[in-house]
Chain A
């Protein structure tokens, strides 16, 4: 019989070992269906690794893919820290992208050092505004934010489709439903010539560092943690619970909005309804894998991105479906949840005497 004994404190090595071990365990577990499908397992994993980090180009692709995941991962991490279950990062991402296009595609003409910050800010504000609605509903009427944020995703996506098929449609796009492209002055510069990797990554990493400082070093962050861990005690101690939740909403929605803004301004240049292959939802996985630590979100996002980019590349080479990537991610999530148990409890083997 195994007994779970609560740990008084979690050793540092374990907080790092659990996510790393979970990633490895996920890959191992994925070998099972791979073998069942008759694919050469070692070859598949080798191709995945090469596809994700085998060359400068592959690495740049992985980091490009990681950029929006860092933003949405941070959005989920800060919200979940405060026990605000924001499942709407996908919608907030699109809202951010929409605002960026609306402002950056010719509405305002200004030099890059004015326009670029402006469109990014607009993206962040749009995402923040979108999340503020469910937060207010939650604190005013007790509405469940999981339901509201989740359903708002579909509203936003339909609204985006309406806009890019209607008022914002690019007349030059040969009938494709996409928006007009943003101006050059509203485009994030590439980090290296010839690669798609852009300054969005730098902003994302900076955001992770800032969020870490905010949460662990400031009064605002203190309140966010207090409210998230025990809202009743926070209220008893006179902390502004409602205002702290609103701040979390602004931060989380803003970060998700920035993901959309950075994708438009740094990568795509215009808005389509397939801008995000579920970055908003994947952010939840990223944050969970990172144990809701803002700094941990960066490696966690890179891991998830590598799995997707590597799986794409492998499936092109040997024809195993790239759904494999979803499988790895799902296994990683399950492993980290089980691993989380290990960080909170010690397993003690109890020998049961024969009766």
Chain B
């Protein structure tokens, strides 16, 4: 099951010879790699004031190679890719790209056009598609002059269809992109890059939005493309994917390259350690005995019937001292469920009981008072107020309580002192309680939200995508805190798209698809493929 990506094209066209390839790989690495270099970065250094974002980074990529680029947030991945694409100019170092003849030639810095011209393509995590145009129009957009004739269009069409055939990237070309699934949109993005004759394809967190099955499909495609000589740089933080797909892994930490090694012989723990720079403590989930129910849904419906993100007659019981995970591709009803628990929406029909009392109307303040701690999906939009200070954000939900105000006047000294304690207790890296919270990194911002929620010892915790966009260190911390809250007797509703996270934390897992919530299944012994199928809409009853 180890690296199966292409040593050469012939091998790749016949997939499924995993372990033998692994052996051959190790053998071959003793000899110089025969494949031609297509991209060679040498000594790339980039400083922003006192910060060295990239420190003498070397990176060689050969034709047909799949290289993983690993690193925490702020490790320098984005800066390196931005230099490659001409958004930044490196202070030192050179970028060499193979031309059509295979000769390496320096790439002029600071020019995105030059990068595209040289055959470098990137699929960003957030797609750059014109949603009202069809897939075909998106693919050819910008490659034809405004006066192009029908004939050229037909030619282009034939070429796109040939590309689809060769690469296996199936996608409906004649439907507005907005109506395609996320997976299809991603395939359109990759086709867009291929149409421009890329020789180096960079995929930025490509599986973040996919179901496990879709991710497998993507991996197969990437292997096939690499087999045809395409060089792929795969940016991800899902280590098992990196190990399964890539033949070589480059790890950045603190702006410097700390490892450049074959994936063969590496495991997740070593890679994680390389990224973080220290050993990651294994997650421990001590057993608990679930207590009384803290959240009960009985045939609860939320949201308008026509809406995609809604709940239809959902049943769910969450008890004290357990974590129930909600799996599903975003937009299938998680938003409605989160809004219901957070107090932003009321159930259209059915019964909702929170901590033994009927939930009633939409009332965020009422939820807080009832002991519901809410970690919103989008900490920038819902969780924090960027222009306000760390202290002000910390007391956002409790500002009118006695400790924070007297006769309507803020008790600023007390607020600041308590925020200082939280900063220490949660290890929030910031200039101080008075710093604007928008100056903080995502992880530290999330720690402020976490501190705000957990300091009130809530009975029910809504954790909606609590680690989205966080690095390993911050993610580990969030997980540790949630498990500790469970141990203390809180019920945790964990809504996540990250199956690793769900399986690592949850006692039971339910799947939501198109507004329908499956019964919660015991997580231990649950097959991840079952969950994946359910996420794609194959509920067990129907699958038979």
Query: Which residues of A are at the interface with B, using a C-beta cutoff of 8 A?
Result: 8-9, 217-220, 222-223, 225-226, 229-230, 232-240, 350-355
Among B110, B383, B386, B435, point to the contact of A236 (Cβ < 8 A): B383
CB within 8 Å for A234 and B385 given contacts A9-B439, A355-B111: yes
* Residue B525, interface by CB 8 Å: no
* Residue B206, interface by CB 8 Å: no
Residues of B within 8 A of A239 (CB): 365, 396, 399
A239–B382 Cα distance when bound, in Å, is 12
Q: Nearest Cβ in chain A — how far from B501, in angstroms?
A: 22
CB within 8 Å for A355 and B108 given contacts A217-B412, A236-B376, A236-B382: yes
Do B399 and A235 touch across chains, with their CB atoms under 8 A apart?
Answer: no
Residues of B within 8 A of A225 (CB): 387-388
A217–B404 Cα distance when bound, in Å, is 11
Do A219 and B405 touch across chains, with their CB atoms under 8 A apart?
Answer: yes
A to B CB contacts below 8 Å, 20 in the list: A8-B436, A217-B409, A219-B399, A219-B400, A222-B410, A226-B392, A229-B385, A229-B387, A230-B384, A230-B385, A233-B381, A236-B342, A236-B383, A237-B396, A238-B364, A238-B365, A239-B396, A350-B89, A352-B89, A353-B109
A218–B400 Cα distance when bound, in Å, is 10
Do A237 and B410 touch across chains, with their CB atoms under 8 A apart?
Answer: no
Do A238 and B367 touch across chains, with their CB atoms under 8 A apart?
Answer: yes
* Residue B215, interface by CB 8 Å: no
A234-B396, A236-B342 are known; give 15 further A-B pairs, CB within 8 A.
Answer: A9-B439, A219-B400, A219-B405, A219-B409, A222-B399, A223-B399, A226-B396, A229-B388, A230-B381, A235-B364, A237-B368, A239-B365, A352-B110, A355-B108, A355-B114
Q: Considering only CB atoms, which chain B residue lies closest to A227 in the complex? A: B385
CB within 8 Å for A9 and B89 given contacts A217-B410, A230-B385, A233-B381: no
Q: Considering only CB atoms, which chain B residue lies closest to A240 in the complex? A: B365
Closest 5 interchain pairs by CB?
A: A238-B365, A238-B364, A355-B108, A237-B396, A230-B385
Q: Nearest Cβ in chain B — how far from A235, in angstroms?
A: 6
A232–B382 Cα distance when bound, in Å, is 6
CB within 8 Å for A219 and B384 given contacts A236-B376, A352-B89: no
* Chain B 75-117 interface 0/1 with A at a Cβ cutoff of 8 Å (1 = within): 0000000000000010000000000000000001111001000
Residues of B within 8 A of A234 (CB): 385, 396
Do B385 and A218 touch across chains, with their CB atoms under 8 A apart?
Answer: no
* Residue B50, interface by CB 8 Å: no
Do A219 and B89 touch across chains, with their CB atoms under 8 A apart?
Answer: no
* Residue B344, interface by CB 8 Å: yes
Among A233, A350, A354, point to the contact of B385 (Cβ < 8 A): A233
Do A236 and B344 touch across chains, with their CB atoms under 8 A apart?
Answer: yes
Q: Nearest Cβ in chain A — how far from B49, in angstroms?
A: 9
Q: Nearest Cβ in chain A — how far from B85, in angstroms?
A: 14
CB within 8 Å for A219 and B381 given contacts A9-B439, A235-B344, A238-B368: no
Q: Considering only CB atoms, which chain A residue lies closest to B387 in the complex? A: A229
Q: Nearest Cβ in chain B — how far from A222, in angstroms?
A: 6
Residues of A within 8 A of B114 (CB): 355
A353–B368 Cα distance when bound, in Å, is 56
A8–B438 Cα distance when bound, in Å, is 8
* Chain B 338-352 interface 0/1 with A at a Cβ cutoff of 8 Å (1 = within): 000011100000000
Kindly identify, within residues 376 to 410 of chain B, every residue whose CB is under 8 Å from any CB belonging to chain A. Answer: 376, 381-388, 392, 396-397, 399-400, 404-405, 408-410
Do B385 and A226 touch across chains, with their CB atoms under 8 A apart?
Answer: yes
Q: Nearest Cβ in chain A — how far from B243, in angstroms?
A: 37
CB within 8 Å for A233 and B383 given contacts A217-B412, A219-B408, A355-B114: yes
A237–B365 Cα distance when bound, in Å, is 7
Residues of B within 8 A of A351 (CB): 89
CB within 8 Å for A233 and B396 given contacts A8-B439, A352-B110, A355-B108: yes
Do B386 and A229 touch across chains, with their CB atoms under 8 A apart?
Answer: yes
Do A233 and B382 touch across chains, with their CB atoms under 8 A apart?
Answer: yes
A230–B365 Cα distance when bound, in Å, is 17
Among A9, A223, A230, point to the contact of B435 (Cβ < 8 A): A9
Among A8, A219, A229, A350, point to the contact of B410 (Cβ < 8 A): A219
Kindly identify, within residues 133 to 179 of chain B, every residue whose CB is under 8 Å from any CB belonging to chain A. Answer: none
* Residue B459, interface by CB 8 Å: no
Q: Nearest Cβ in chain A — how far from B88, in angstroms?
A: 9
Residues of B within 8 A of A232 (CB): 381-382
Do B385 and A238 touch across chains, with their CB atoms under 8 A apart?
Answer: no
* Residue B508, interface by CB 8 Å: no
A222–B408 Cα distance when bound, in Å, is 10
* Chain B 361-376 interface 0/1 with A at a Cβ cutoff of 8 Å (1 = within): 0011111100000101
A238–B401 Cα distance when bound, in Å, is 13
Q: Nearest Cβ in chain A — how far from B65, in angstroms?
A: 28
Residues of A within 8 A of B397 (CB): 237-238
Residues of A within 8 A of B386 (CB): 229-230
Residues of B within 8 A of A223 (CB): 399
Residues of B within 8 A of A350 (CB): 89, 110
A352–B108 Cα distance when bound, in Å, is 10
Q: Considering only CB atoms, which chain A residue lies closest to B367 in the complex? A: A238
A222–B389 Cα distance when bound, in Å, is 11
Residues of A within 8 A of B388 (CB): 225-226, 229
Q: Nearest Cβ in chain B — how far from A325, in angstroms?
A: 34
Do B392 and A222 touch across chains, with their CB atoms under 8 A apart?
Answer: yes
Kindly identify, within residues 287 to 343 of chain B, every residue whose CB is under 8 Å from any CB belonging to chain A. Answer: 342-343
Q: Nearest Cβ in chain A — how far from B534, in angstroms?
A: 30
Q: Considering only CB atoms, which chain A residue lies closest to B383 in the complex? A: A233
A230–B437 Cα distance when bound, in Å, is 13
Residues of B within 8 A of A235 (CB): 344, 364
Q: Considering only CB atoms, which chain B residue lies closest to A231 in the complex? A: B385
Q: Considering only CB atoms, which chain B residue lies closest to A241 in the complex? A: B364
A230–B396 Cα distance when bound, in Å, is 12
- Of the candidates A9, A220, A222, A234, the one having the most CB atoms from chain B within 10 angstroms of its own CB is A222
Do A233 and B409 touch across chains, with their CB atoms under 8 A apart?
Answer: no
